[in-house]
Structure 1
């Protein structure tokens, strides 16, 4: 709480003039004012001394009022000294901040699943899909190898029966087609079994 004024040049001049001209100026008040006026700027005038000065001015009948003397001054506001922070309180606040930050992080990431590849499924679903695609690729590759191998074996083996190339090719195509149809039949039956159909 403030209890003093910072005085300006106008106060200095007027009070010096009053102290020199007024013979009835109280000695105690004069000494206190001389101490204040003798200091370098900023000089601080307490409310107690200001009241004494005002009473003297009223008693003496001077046409000068205190507020006129203090026109170029201001109220002195002492610097606020912050008390040192309690280390236990600081540690507790840090723990609370860390806890709140962790709760905020958990709230933000509560719907994030590390196993999810995207919104369509998890990594386990992706693995099943990859195995399914892999099985399909292996089945198609196996079908193609079987048909090509049947064609090659039939073509090479038919040289003992047919001398003409055209007959050998036709017999190899017929053998490869029969084997291909048999493979497709087995494949379809296997697919039906995997899908749970009779």
Structure 2
């Protein structure tokens, strides 16, 4: 809180030169004022306490001086000392840090309470994805096996029919018939397998 003023040149000149307005002041007040103005502050101008300025105003009124205090204080400014913060208690700082960490942890838990690490999306968990990948792998292998079996049946029948038939059309026709029969049998087995897997799901 401000308790003094950094006085300007006007009051310093009036006090030092011994102007007739300030010459009417009581000797004790004048000595006190000169001592306050003579004391160096911080190189920016002397500091005068408010109490001394009140005494000066009262003395000027009693003396009937035409000089007012605000005229003497022209160019002056209120001095606000720098506020020194007291050192913080280390025990209090430690407790505050603990409380901050606890609050941050509670906030994190509140934010993440409805998050499940196992969830992949709204459609299922990672375990469901693994089952679906295994099922898809089985389907791909089954389809590949079906194609290889039908092609192999066609090739074997085509090559084997050369010993029975001499015409190319007979070779192709017999190979297509055997491949179709093998394909239908393989398809039947594949459908039965797929129904069993879908029943397990």
- TM-score, normalization: structure 2? 0.82
- TM-score, normalization: structure 1? 0.83
**What is aligned with 1:128?**
131
**2:29 matches 1:29:** yes
Match of 1:87 among 90, 93, 106: 90
The Cα of 1:80 is off from its aligned counterpart by 0.9
The Cα of 1:183 is off from its aligned counterpart by 1.3
**What is aligned with 1:152?**
155
The Cα of 1:136 is off from its aligned counterpart by 0.9
Root-mean-square deviation over aligned CA pairs: 2.6
**What is aligned with 2:190?**
187
Q: Is the 8 A contact 2:14 2:22 kept in 1?
A: no
Deviations 1:86-136 (A, max 9, x none): 112222222222233333333333444333333332222221221121111
Which portions of structure 1, spanning 4 or more consecutive aligned residues, are displaced by more than 4 angstroms? 17-24
Distance 1:16 1:115 in 2: 87
Distance 2:61 2:198 in 1: 112
Unaligned runs of 5+ in 1: none
**What is aligned with 2:59?**
56
Unaligned runs of 5+ in 2: none
The Cα of 1:22 is off from its aligned counterpart by 6.2
